[in-house]
Amino acid sequence: MTSERTRPNWPVQISIVSAVLAVSLVVLTLAGFTSGLFGWHPGTPAAVQGARAVNLPAAVGAPGVRSADETKHPVAAAGVLISGNTWFADGSGWYGAVISADAGEYRVFVNNAGAAGFGAVLSPDGRRPASGDGILDIATGRWTGYPQAWQDRELAAQAWSPDGARLAVTSRVPGGDGPYPSTANASATVLNLLDVGSGAITEVAGLPDAAALDGWTVAFSPDGTRLAYQASGQVRIVTVADGRSTAVPLPDGARLAGKGSWTRDGQGLLVVSGEHCCSCGDYPMRWTVTTLVATTGAAVGPRYQVDGAYAVRVLGWWPSGRPVAVAYAPTDDAATTLFDDEPSRYQLISMDKVDSARLLELSPGSGHHQLSSAGTEAIDVADYVLAAGKVGTAATLATTVDSIAGGLLTAAALAAATALLSGGFALWRRRLRRPAP
């Protein structure tokens, strides 16, 4: 006696397996965000296959979850410093990372005190990023803390001198509940010069709230002999050797454009101002960078206009003789920002409303050349990389949280589509085989 062997219903089985797979992938994605799976889990870097010329990466992104730890696997020198608070799904605050100037390798370090360019700055030679936590030696991976005199202060690194011997640092006394906790109880923010070698601190000036805006506060002259800093309605220029200062008046609503504000000949200063602009695209802001004579404040030379940016900050100069600026892109819910509005000032340095950034070689007018795009909130670039004037590539990272989660959800969507198609095909075939009445 023989029995007919039942043939498997492959469309139904494929539909069931695909549906289970789709649900599993969605659950895995959600677990990655809630369980720390998508947190930072430092790995071991691959061997570098030959060094390249120093260059600025044409595209910069968030590090991967397996990016190596800078303190354990240091690189010789960095070309770019980046930071962000959305890189990893581990509930942590700000992380920092450096990208090597030759091989384009990423190295991550914990940095809870200052975003890149806003309280954390890379030295001109790319060997030392400084933040509120201290100074990191890139080549050794070792941190050096600040002097004990600053033990109870909130610190923000603002700018390095061109020779790397001095660091401009603002110090604030914590206290109060306002947007600037250090000044809510009337204690001033102090601008200091730190002699990195000896640890000696020179107090330069006390700064009011409106002047103390990380990223737009201080700039060293090209020869390092003078320091320009933002004051109320003016820029003061201090001679580093003897502390003598002069005042330069500013146009209404303008302030120092960033750490690269001095012109290359040391005769001028770049200042930036913002205004609401209904014709500037989705984000109605226009930023204008103006060149002023460093002795009189008279406007001279070219003006540069950037439309639709959340904020604009000047880093330095390209070999073409044109300034290089960071233009920050806003998040969808970002309100417009102005320097003379206190809530706006706080939002500028919090980076909470920044989505990404572009590095632009500014041209007179509004037609600028994009040098690099940064898919992260904050970025700073070493002076020697800008001086090299070359654009290259950074390492391609496949293990970023976005790429992993995106890949899992894409696979889940494909599995769900397969389940629907297979199930639909099974139903169609069943109806086709049903005997006619």
Per-residue pLDDT tens over the stretch 68-90: 888 898 888 999 999 887 787 76
Q: Say what the pLDDT of residue 281 is.
A: 80
Mean predicted lDDT score pLDDT of the chain: 84
DSSP secondary structure letter of residue 152: T
Q: Among 49-58, 110-119, 133-142, 301-310, where is mean pLDDT lowest?
A: 49-58
Q: Which CATH architecture has domain 56-395?
A: 6 Propeller (2.120)
Q: Say what the pLDDT of residue 183 is.
A: 40
Average pLDDT value for residue range 292-315 = 93
Average pLDDT value for residue range 310-323 = 96
Cβ-Cβ contacts under 8 Å for 161 (sequence gap 6 or more)? 167, 168, 220, 224, 240
225 has pLDDT over 60 = yes
182 has pLDDT over 50 = no
Q: Among 12-26, 205-219, 267-281, 391-405, where is mean pLDDT lowest?
A: 391-405
Q: Buried b / exposed e across 100-123, counting CB within 10 Å, b at 16+? A: bbbbbbbbbbebebbbbbbbbbbb
Are 131 and 138 spatial neighbours (Cβ–Cβ below 8 Å)?
no
Angle (CA) 177 182 183, round 5°: 85
Distance, CA of 232 to CA of 262 (rounded, Å): 19
28 has pLDDT over 90 = no
Average pLDDT value for residue range 236-240 = 95
Q: Say what the pLDDT of residue 95 is.
A: 82
pLDDT tens, residue by residue, 122-152:
999 999 999 988 999 999 989 999 999 998 8
What percentage of the chain carries pLDDT values higher than 90? 44
321 has pLDDT over 90 = yes
DSSP secondary structure letter of residue 271: E
Sequential DSSP letters for 80-95:
EEEEESSSSSSS---E
Q: E strand or H helix at 410, and its extent? A: helix 401-433
398 has pLDDT over 70 = no
187 has pLDDT over 60 = no
Average pLDDT value for residue range 13-41 = 73
